[in-house]
Amino acid sequence: MMGTEISVHLWHENAEEGMSLVEETFTEITRIEALMSTYIEGSEISEINRSAADAPVVAGDELINLILRSLDISVLTHGAFDITYDSIGQYYDFRERRRPDAATIQEGLERIDYRLVEVDRLEGTVQFLAPGVRINLGGIAKGYAVEQAVKLLRSRGILHGIVTAGGDSRLLGDRRGQPFMVGIRDPRNEGEVVLTIPLEDEAISTSGDYERYFEEDGKRYHHIIEPMTGEPAGGIRSTTIVGPDAVLTDALSTSVFVLGVDRGLRLIATLPDYEGIVIDAAGRLFYSDGLQPPEPEPAE
Ligand code: ADP
Ligand code: MG
């Protein structure tokens, strides 16, 4: 679902009731996907992309609110996070190894600008201020989905669990008295982990250049697009953000990827409760202030 693998783990005294809550969680995520996927013709967001350049399009509160959140995060990240990236992003197809040519990028660049998305809260509408604009919530919807899923489980009395959608996980409580141990993948060695961190009751999101990509003439084309250039962001292999809200960890992992090591970690330093780990193109690890690496073992 949502173009990735979703998993739900929870502890319940009663196996049957536990399983039915797992089912309910998947139903909730299916509902969210049906609103927010650009791959579903009938989704609210597809309707916005078809018509919002011609006239305001009515959408439900939930989608409107997530679009508003996305626009706020664009301001916070100085445009690194921008849901209108899809004005060019739509021309990439990583499975088919397809990418836009220079002319298409040139033409699309002026349509990547979150200020072209106008939301009328009272009317509940979205309008694009220029033709050819497209939005895509791929950098934030999975975080939203896991956050909502955990809210649902908590409201049903669950105290311990994990909901994961691709690189986004939301932990509910702890692993019954111990923290969950969450591994950060090695971006260049599948199945390997570079670091494991203990976490409870937090969200953790990783964005990488290894999930969806193809290589051409030695260059890696991946799915995180730098809004200023319309091309995949360079300089980083993966970013991981930890914090209380999966919506923000998801959007920030994508943003820090675009911002690069220095600007990205400086942004994280301004956000209390959020920490980051970045792996650059040379494989070096960088940590935000609150997450200093473990002291090396003293030499004998
Ligand atoms: P994943 O989808 O693997 O969890 P991310 O959370 O980093 O990875 O999200 C990447 C997705 O974000 C892309 O597939 C695309 O849908 C979207 N995206 C790409 N570039 C941007 C950007 N500059 N701003 C907002 N969203 C983006
Ligand atoms: Mg993300």
For the chain, give the percent of residues with pLDDT over 70: 97
Closest to 229 in 3D by CA, of 67, 96, 82? 82
- Range 139-167 burial, b when 16+ CB lie within 10 A, else e: bbbbbbbbbbbbebbeeeebebbbbbbbb
pLDDT value at residue 293:
61
Ligand nearest to the CA of 6: 1
DSSP-derived 3-state class of residue 86 = helix
Torsion of CA 223, 228, 230, 233, to 10 degrees: -30
> Is the distance from CB of 207 to CB of 88 less than 8 angstroms?
no
Give the span between the Cα atoms of 145 and 61, in whole angstroms. Answer: 15
pLDDT tens digits, one per residue of 57-94: 999 999 999 999 999 999 999 999 999 999 999 999 99
- Prediction pTM value: 0.96
Q: What is the pLDDT of residues 237-278, one digit of tens each?
A: 999 999 999 999 999 999 999 999 999 999 999 999 999 999
For residue 290, name the pLDDT band (cuts at 50, 70, 90). confident
Give the pocket of ligand 1 (CB within 6 Å): 81-83, 85, 89, 136, 138-139, 142, 166-168, 207, 211, 223-225, 227, 250, 253-254, 258
Q: How many CB atoms are located within 10 Å of the residue 20 CB?
A: 13
Q: How far is the CA of 81 from the centre of ligand 1 (A)?
A: 9
Q: How many Cβ atoms are within 10 Å of 95's Cβ, its own excluded?
A: 7
Domains of the chain and any CATH numbers = 159-287 (3.10.520.10)
